[in-house]
Structure 1
């Protein structure tokens, strides 16, 4: 017997769960499907969100011959076999090829599809859990519409589970599935309906007295539900979320973001990002921050997980509640930008190295004024090259530390 998830797979748009941002009355993908004019498409999003189901529905409505390949184990020969069918009556209306996990196709295999996509022999629907803009050949992307599939909402997962329970009750008289069991499975599904249905099926096949309780559902759900791939798009999304929460001075969201990363187990990425944040987002507003964070990071690296989470939390809460300044990152990026667009010319001769024979003859370090020989260890002289004279890169942040330094130097420099 086919798995339960396969048996309840929707056969029409009216039965389809989720993706209400693209599927439904008046939505773009629904209109495309109803028109019958199916373009090449890329579906991307996490597992269990309906990508394969929707491809099946589209194939049924299109009247095209439907082929499904998984890029994990498909070869160029498999593609050629599909293409051969376009030359027969079997492929007279054209072929719709559903290529699952296209990120596993290298550029050469993706390119082998291009000619047939361009001439319309093959209509391609590719799916991936990775960001397509990173993993799909640009020529294919430019010829395709890209649709993002999002994790299902809780109520959508519940509806899917209830439909599966109804089917199970039809085949097993007296089956009882408690409402709190359904709620528990939906809560821990991570928006993945297939995972929820597989959990329900496991609970059904192993429960006592045909009674699925919350407690037994929980026994069947003792694995993590976090959608986190250390080598995938979600990894960088989580790191971005982490930094933006700290930058936004929200300690609660920052700790939650840290917890997501800790669950992912990538200690090195957490440590590197914290060190960046200490200078990029806190910087001179709390200049001791980099030292505190470095100490916490060193402790975390020595401890390893699970204890590493404690000094990491110390660093995160310090940074999230610290005053903020981006003056350091703004200054360096501004200077780097100028170097990309302007000729720096010669460095000022009086600031160049003069500690060698002949330096005086070349005019090196002549007329250099040693600041420590002057009051307040400061004397005015030209530091920027002639081509950059008058440029300003550092702008003091609106915080106590930088404003105090700014006022001090304004006074010393007599401005």
Structure 2
């Protein structure tokens, strides 16, 4: 048997062997039909680790029988690209698979671009990062297809595991292996959408199992032990990590406690307590806001407790904070109002500060006309405190409204005060 890892050996040879990704390479897609007809457009493949970007590139090459060169942008240099270009002049079109394409610098890209443009090189770039954020626009513009690959389902991965167990040439088919459907499906679930992890887990399990009478017997205890060691899906600071942060916030905003806790669990397993804490604090003001002003200080207290405790105990106060925010009344009115004011400024909607609001803490202020300010604290209005009807906005912006109160939670009371004060302004 080859010394190459099982995940490498089981890489599909043609596009018909691709598991999942029906939206990209299913038999009804334009991509499938183009490749079957021998036409391969330059493309970018975007997706999380282990979803099959490299496998798809190899399968495309295997289907079309075109010359194929694989490079990794973290290691390849300008000379490597020039060598591929030189080969293309001799052999004709070459498929260049460039993994982690977002790592290519401008000089390397400039070397590559004209040859992609004239068609001598067919570029298949793969990236775990959002190509619209991390891939040079010049590369994107020359790729006719940008395809996002999705994480494989447990069913897709189970198909791959069964294929590996049965294949006598590339897989483990020459071995007699006693493994149950339940054990295999547990591995498929544990891989969390990552085919490479699943096949590596299967290979580790088989070779860690004991043999009796020529039969490798897989034990439940071994499977459970190895499954527990499978790493959490997603890399710190990668696109998937930021997608987790986004999903956490959107789940809290949507008041889905279970989903929010699920994403929090993923993030904490990645171990970056600082980024998670920062996002939770932002959420307490962005999404809960004036509807429940006490939540911000409570979340801050939870974050400070988590930082003092460290992981794994930090998960306890953070879980409290997430559940509290999920079930709290919500309002984004304050920061939405500020954003509206900032947008107005950028649009040039500004004016002169009224003279009575300008600084008067210096001799000569009156000579400049900086007078007329009425001190609100000297004019009591019931239990509200002090208020006086005077102009605060620039003259050309009088009547402009940025703040739109939301009648939720504590903000309902604040909204009533706001509306009452607005009414006072119209009274003579």
Q: Specify the TM-score bucket, using the shorter chain as the normaliser.
A: over 0.9
Partner residue in 1 for 2:40: 38
Cα gap change, 1:11 to 1:409, in 2 (>3 Å):
closer
- Deviation of 1:343 (Å): 4.5
Q: Deviations over 1:212-233 (max 9, x none)?
A: 2332233333424422211110
Q: What is the CA-CA distance between 1:31 and the residue it aligns to?
A: 2.1
Out of 376, 399, 405, the residue aligned to residue 390 of structure 1 is 399
Match of 2:376 in 1: 371
The C-alpha deviation readout for 1:188-232, integer Å capped at 9, x for no partner, is 011111221111112222211111233223333342442221111
Q: CA deviation at 1:119?
A: 1.0
> Structure 2: where are the runs of 5+ without partners?
none
- Structure 1: unaligned runs, 5 residues or longer: none
Cα separation, partners in 2 of 1:28 and 1:353, compared to 1, 3 Å: same
- Alignment match of 1:238 (pick from 244, 249, 252): 244
Q: Which one is further off, 161-170 or 32-41?
A: 161-170
Q: Quick one: distance in 2 between partners of 1:237 and 1:162?
A: 31
Equivalent-residue separation in structure 2 for 1:5 and 1:375 (angstroms): 76
Residues 35 and 164 of structure 1, relative CA distance in 2, 3 Å threshold: same
Are positions 1:347 and 2:347 aligned together?
no
| Counterpart Cα distance in 1 of 2:54 and 2:409 | 56
Does residue 183 (structure 1) correspond to residue 185 (structure 2)? The answer is: yes
* 2:88 aligned with 1:73: no
**Is 1:228 the equivalent of 2:228?**
no
For 2:247, what is the secondary structure of its paired residue? helix
Quote the offset at 1:127 in angstroms.
0.8
The normalised TM-score by structure 2 is 0.91
Structure 2 vs 1, CA of residues 388 and 205 (structure 1 numbering), >3 Å: closer, same or farther?
same
Shift of the 49–207 alpha-carbon distance from structure 1 to 2, 3 Å rule, reads same
Q: Secondary structure at the match of 2:366?
A: coil
- 8 A Cα contact 2:406 2:415, kept in partner: no
Alpha-carbon distance between aligned partners in 2 of 1:354 and 1:246, rounded to the nearest angstrom:
46
Taking structure 1 as the reference length, what is the TM-score of the superposition?
0.94
Tell me, in whole angstroms, the C-alpha distance in 1 between the residues paired with 2:413 and 2:146. Answer: 51
CA distance in 1, matches of 2:188, 2:114: 44
| Change in CA separation of 1:128 and 1:411 when aligned onto 2, cut-off 3 Å | closer
What is the deviation of 1:410? 4.0
SS at structure 1 position matched to 2:89:
coil
**Contact 1:178–1:214 under 8 Å retained in 2:** no
Q: Write out per-residue CA displacement over residues 248-275 of structure 1, whole angstroms, 9 at most, x where no aligned residue.
A: 1122222222111111111111221122
Q: How does 1:40-119 map to 2 (within 5 A)?
A: 40-88=42-90, 91-92=91-92, 94-119=93-118
- Find the aligned partners of 2:251 and 2:59 in 1 and give their Cα distance: 40
**1:411 CA displacement:** 4.0
Partner of residue 274 from structure 2, selected from 261, 268, 285: 268
CA distance in 1, matches of 2:301, 2:51: 42
Contact 1:178 1:213 in 2 (8 A): no
Tell me if structure 2 keeps the 8 A contact 1:76–1:112: yes
Contact kept, 8 Å, 1:158 with 1:183, in 2: the verdict is yes
User: CA–CA distance in 2 between the matches of 1:406 and 1:317?
Assistant: 26
1:294-305 aligned within 5 A: 294-305=300-311
Superposed CA deviations along residues 141-164 of structure 1, whole A, max 9, x for unmatched, are 111111111111111111110111
Q: What is the Cα deviation at residue 18 of structure 1?
A: 1.1
For 2:194 and 2:122, locate their aligned partners in 1 and report how far apart those are by CA, in whole Å.
Answer: 27
Does the aligned pair in 2 maintain the 1:182–1:214 contact within 8 Å?
Answer: no
CA RMSD of aligned residues (A): 1.7
Please give the secondary structure, in 1, of the residue aligned with 2:25.
Answer: coil
2:341 corresponding residue in structure 1: 335
Question: C-alpha distance in 1, partners of 2:325/2:236?
Answer: 24
